[in-house]
Amino acid sequence: MDLERALASLRRGEFVLVYDGDGREAETDLTIASEFVTPAGIRTLRKEAGGLICMTVSGEVQARIGLPFMTDVLRRAGPAYPVLEAVSAEDFKYDRHSAFSIAVNHRDTFTGVTDMDRAKTIARLAGIAKEAVKRENGWAAHAFAEEFRSPGHVPLLNAAEQLFEERRGHTELTTALMIMAGLAPTATICEMMSDDGRALSKEDAKAYARERNLVFLEGQDIVRAWRLWSV
């Protein structure tokens, strides 16, 4: 079964491809478990996928760190900077709200954008995410503030607290895969782009997966598997 193959691949630190759905973005994200991200992995994402390299964060980890949604930050800053309130309207054609939180760099990076810097930021935050659920309240927020600064070059995506109840984006789909695989509850994802300036088509994404012996998953199959797994 493709889902079991995908989970096994993720546990080995390999990439899988996740397509959200025909009625949504209709995009495929190249996906890897954040805890296994290396500079070589970042290079693959930027050269083979080409979209925005982001890191997802599960609802439980968000709560323990205290990560906001970026739209909430902008709205609260609105009284001082009215333009921020104006641009924070979530008028997407494909979803009700954005998953974007803040963007960070690890404090030991230089510019934060190189393959090495982004890999360090992601791998260290994955370590905190893995430990957060085991530690006492307050530990994760302290560890996060000690190790990271914002703004930075790794955008964080907050998964919906109840996966798939209010949102079924790549953020939720890939985070669910990490949880089902028993890994740190964070995925590193990047949209796959085509040379014609558009998102890579589903058929071309499937061909890419076949050529490299990677698993291609449909969002609806992940949702079904999650509901069975979480019962």
Rounded to an integer, the average pLDDT of 68-88 is: 93
Q: How confident is the model at residue 82 (pLDDT cuts 50, 70, 90)?
A: very high
Please indicate, yes or no, if residue 218 is contained in any of the structural domains.
Answer: yes
190 in active site: no
Give the residue numbers spanning the domain of 59: 2-66+104-226
pLDDT at residue 9, as a whole number: 98
Catalytic residue among 14, 29, 115, 172: 29
Q: What is the pLDDT of residues 192-215, one digit of tens each?
A: 999 999 999 999 999 999 999 999
Tell me the CATH number at 35.
3.90.870.10
In 3D, which of 19, 3, 35 has the Cα closest to residue 199? 19
Please indicate, yes or no, if residue 98 is contained in any of the structural domains.
Answer: no
158 in active site: no
pLDDT at residue 73, as a whole number: 95
Residue 165 has pLDDT above 80, yes or no: no
Burial code (b: 16+ CB inside 10 Å, e: under 16) for 121-132 equals: bbbbbbbbbbeb
Q: How confident is the model at residue 91 (pLDDT cuts 50, 70, 90)?
A: confident
Please indicate, yes or no, if residue 86 is contained in any of the structural domains.
Answer: no
Helix residue ranges per DSSP H, the chain: 2-11, 39-44, 59-65, 70-77, 82-87, 115-132, 139-147, 170-180, 202-212, 219-229
Catalytic residue among 94, 108, 161, 166: 94
Q: What is the pLDDT of residues 11-27, one digit of tens each?
A: 999 999 999 999 889 99
Residue 108 phi/psi, 5-degree rounding, is -90, 5
The percent of residues above 70 in pLDDT, for the chain, comes to 100
Residue 96 has pLDDT above 90, yes or no: no
Rounded to an integer, the average pLDDT of 115-123 is: 98
Catalytic residue among 54, 115, 117, 208: 54
Please indicate, yes or no, if residue 231 is contained in any of the structural domains.
Answer: no
- How many Cα atoms sit within 13 Å of 179 on the Cβ side? 24
Rounded to an integer, the average pLDDT of 183-188 is: 98
191 in active site: yes
Rounded to an integer, the average pLDDT of 123-137 is: 92
pTM of the model: 0.95
Please indicate, yes or no, if residue 130 is contained in any of the structural domains.
Answer: yes
Rounded to an integer, the average pLDDT of 102-109 is: 98
94 in active site: yes
Rounded to an integer, the average pLDDT of 136-144 is: 92
Catalytic residue among 14, 20, 35, 105: 105
Rounded to an integer, the average pLDDT of 132-142 is: 89
Number of domains composing the chain = 1
146 in active site: no
185 cis-preceded (ω within 30 degrees of 0): no
pLDDT at residue 23, as a whole number: 84
Please indicate, yes or no, if residue 125 is contained in any of the structural domains.
Answer: yes
213 in active site: no
Rounded to an integer, the average pLDDT of 211-226 is: 96
Please indicate, yes or no, if residue 75 is contained in any of the structural domains.
Answer: no
Catalytic residue among 95, 153, 218, 221: 153
* 170-180 vs 219-229: helix crossing angle, rounded to 10: 40
Please indicate, yes or no, if residue 17 is contained in any of the structural domains.
Answer: yes
Q: Which of 40-44, 110-114, 160-164, 211-215 has the lowest mean pLDDT?
A: 160-164
What is the pLDDT of the chain when averaged over all its residues? 94
Q: What is the pLDDT of residues 39-70, one digit of tens each?
A: 999 999 999 999 999 999 999 999 999 999 99
pLDDT at residue 90, as a whole number: 78
